[in-house]
Amino acid sequence: CPRARAMIVRVRTRDGTERITVPSSDITVAKLKEILETELKVPKDEQILSTSLDVLTSKTPEEFKDMANGRAKIASCGIDTNGAVVHLMYGCEREPTKTTVAVRDAARGLTGRKMTVDDMIAAQVRIERQEAPHCVSVSFDANAANVFQSYVNYTLGFKQVRFGWLYGARDDDGKTRVDAIYEPEQEGTEEDVEVLEDTLEDEKADALAGALGMIRVGCIISTPKDERDFTLSAREVSRVARLQSKFGKEFVTAVVSTFEDEDDNWQVSFEAFQLSDAAMKVQERGWFTGECGVDEDGDELKGVSKLTNEVIVRDGPSINDVNAVDNDMFLVTVPILDHEGAISTTFPVENRLHPVQTVDDLKDALRKDKPYGERLRDFHLLLFLAKHIDINELAVIASAVHHGEDVPEGYTLLIDCLAGLA
């Protein structure tokens, strides 16, 4: 009898086309799955095989049964010649072979040639829940966090969205520490907030933070007082995605929200999140619209983000191609801790409706019975001084405050004069 001959089988997936060698066309589908598990690292239980290309774009790939019988020989399924093609659908994450990766660009898709069906499949983004954040934990100065939270709750009554920048430090273990919250110029409404970015005050805040040994590590935002059944809206996710893309993968977002408990009392929630790596791929491609999805009746789903392109969503056993994604799929929870930092938060905060910063506040701070440098150890007080003192000179003052050194006498006299104490 003729001797069975080894043959090449081309395996087409959503990650492109790869090649494997099988002993012959007489092997069973079950044996083919074993080879695929060994060669392509796709678990057998994850594999859905078919000779039809449609399995790769179907919303119900499990309905393709032409290769469902593990005892059937692959020849009987049409895999009977050298170079035959089989289509493999799976939901797990894996690294494609180098020959596939070489023709793809992470940000722009395929370059240098026409886009084929393989290329279009490979260019899609797969969305799965991500368990581990890049920011291992975030610890807030308890007073700084409380000052922001109290203003949102008691002064604004959660009827106006509020935004702030987080300043602090990161260590080599991926832990973030927040010691100050700067509230930039902004216009808040019940549904959203428009934040002025890259202003002169922002530059001064960055410079001042640097002199105090801090960097911008994240942002904080309050959400409207509504009976929402989601964490962040499509518009909020779009903003966070833009900021995380701008400031780096360790950038963390704190969310202050309110909810009604079982006794119909409103409680305040303070949580921290990052967007997943998959969400950042969506951002890099410019697919976030900031618009929410809709249900079958056309009603808005504010907790769902509408995208410009379809993505592959895997949530448990289900795998779907969609252009609207539940925002919870993008969120990665960051554990929250608290601490008592060296920087005070007793001076009125900038850019608030009430109370407004005044020279009298500066006078009250300087009359406290403590060393002069400690009287100035307040981020908001120093930022108030930046309205009257050149930022380069203020950086010298802030550096002395940070290192526990004496503030040069010339500067103390200048500050006392501003406060009307000299």
Question: Which helix (DSSP H) or strand (DSSP E) does residue 307 occupy?
Answer: strand 300-315
Mean pLDDT of the chain, nearest integer: 89
DSSP category for residue 198: S
Quick one: pLDDT band at residue 110, thresholds 50, 70, 90? very low
pLDDT for res 96: 65
DSSP category for residue 154: I
pLDDT for res 29: 95
pLDDT for res 264: 76
The answer to whether 260 and 266 have CB atoms below 8 angstroms apart is: yes
Quick one: pLDDT band at residue 126, thresholds 50, 70, 90? confident
Assess whether pLDDT exceeds 70 at residue 317: no
* Closest by Cα among 169, 152, 148, 151 to 161: 152
pLDDT for res 330: 96
Assess whether pLDDT exceeds 50 at residue 107: no
- Lowest-pLDDT range of 176-185, 315-324, 347-356: 315-324
Assess whether pLDDT exceeds 60 at residue 346: yes
Give pLDDT tens digits for 369-383: 999 999 999 999 999
For residues 321 and 414, the model is more confident at: 414
Between CA 70 and CA 77, with CA 76 as vertex, the angle to 5 degrees is 70
pLDDT for res 199: 96
Mean pLDDT in residue range 353-367: 94
With H, G, I as helix, E, B as strand and everything else as coil, classify residue 176: strand
Assess whether pLDDT exceeds 60 at residue 108: no
Assess whether pLDDT exceeds 50 at residue 100: no
What is the pTM for the complete model shown?
Answer: 0.75
Give pLDDT tens digits for 78-89: 999 888 899 999
For residues 224 and 214, the model is more confident at: 214
pLDDT for res 403: 94
Mean pLDDT in residue range 182-199: 94
Mean pLDDT in residue range 323-329: 93
Give 215's strand partners: 168
Q: If you search the block for the tokens 């504010």, which residue do you land on?
A: 302
pLDDT for res 378: 97
Give pLDDT tens digits for 241-278: 999 999 999 999 999 999 887 777 888 999 999 999 99
CA terminus-to-terminus distance, the chain = 110
pLDDT for res 57: 79
pLDDT for res 113: 47
Give pLDDT tens digits for 295-314: 888 899 999 999 998 888 88
Q: Directed axis angle between helix 391-402 and helix 200-211, to 10°?
A: 30
Quick one: pLDDT band at residue 225, thresholds 50, 70, 90? confident
Give pLDDT tens digits for 191-222: 899 999 999 999 999 999 999 999 999 999 99
Assess whether pLDDT exceeds 70 at residue 117: no
Mean pLDDT in residue range 219-228: 87
pLDDT for res 60: 87
pLDDT for res 123: 59
For residues 341 and 319, the model is more confident at: 341
For the CA atoms of 91, 94, 100, 104, the dihedral, rounded to the nearest 10 degrees, stands at: 80
Share of the chain above pLDDT 90, in %: 72
- Lowest-pLDDT range of 29-38, 60-69, 108-117, 327-336: 108-117
Mean pLDDT in residue range 394-401: 95
For residues 354 and 236, the model is more confident at: 236
